[in-house]
């Protein structure tokens, strides 16, 4: 069961410049940064708020690190802007299977590693009214 909007992914050409815009304009703070080699991006997660299920909502700023990455190809075609929306779920495997049974194409056979140790999969935008949709199960909280 989807529990929240986990994040909205925004593709950009210059991560530092885009981070500076969101920090100076809205007062957001950078919560986490990383390079995801598998997906070919550098990213910054800007925390917006906490949520009732113990998670949070973020803006995820994505800059490609290589030309063959999905984000680089998307930027070349569409320019900077909203790339995807991600919904949080306690069980990405079960929710991916559920939507697959309803005829929605799930892009990964098995969930992959996402930001901050999460597990993710994507749903085909043509099956989601033109919106690339991500399902995210956050990494367990460290005790």
Does residue 67 carry a catalytic annotation?
no
Candidates 39, 43, 63, 83; catalytic one: 43
| Residue tagged active-site, from 39, 63, 83, 134 | 134
Q: List the catalytic residue out of 39, 63, 83, 84.
A: 84
Q: With contact defined as beta carbons under 8 Å apart, do 63 and 41 qualify?
A: yes
- 84 noted as active-site residue: yes
Q: Which of 38, 39, 60, 101 is catalytic?
A: 60
Active site residue 60: yes
Query: Taking Cα atoms as reference points, which of 55, 134, 126, 127 lies closest to residue 96?
Result: 134
Distances (CA, A) of 36 to 2, 56, 89: 24, 20, 21
Fill in the DSSP letter of residue 129.
T
Active site residue 134: yes
Of the listed 7, 39, 63, 83, which one is catalytic? 7
Answer yes or no: are the C-beta atoms of 109 and 96 closer than 8 Å: no
**Residues involved in catalysis:** 7, 43, 60, 84, 134
């Amino acid at each position: 069961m989807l529990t929240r909007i986990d994040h909205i992914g925004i593709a950009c050409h210059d991560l530092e410049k885009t981070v500076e815009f969101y920090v100076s304009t809205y007062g957001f703070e950078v919560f986490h940064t990383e390079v995801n080699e598998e997906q070919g991006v550098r990213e910054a997660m800007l925390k917006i708020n906490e949520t009732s299920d113990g998670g949070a909502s973020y803006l995820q700023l994505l800059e490609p690190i290589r030309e063959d990455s999905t984000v680089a190809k998307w930027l070349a075609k569409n320019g900077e802007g909203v790339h995807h929306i991600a919904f949080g779920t306690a069980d990405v495997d079960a929710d991916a299977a559920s939507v697959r049974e309803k005829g929605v194409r799930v892009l990964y056979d098995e969930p992959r590693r996402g930001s901050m140790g999460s597990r993710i999969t994507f749903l085909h935008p043509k099956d989601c009214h033109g919106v690339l949709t991500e399902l995210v199960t956050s990494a367990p909280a460290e005790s």
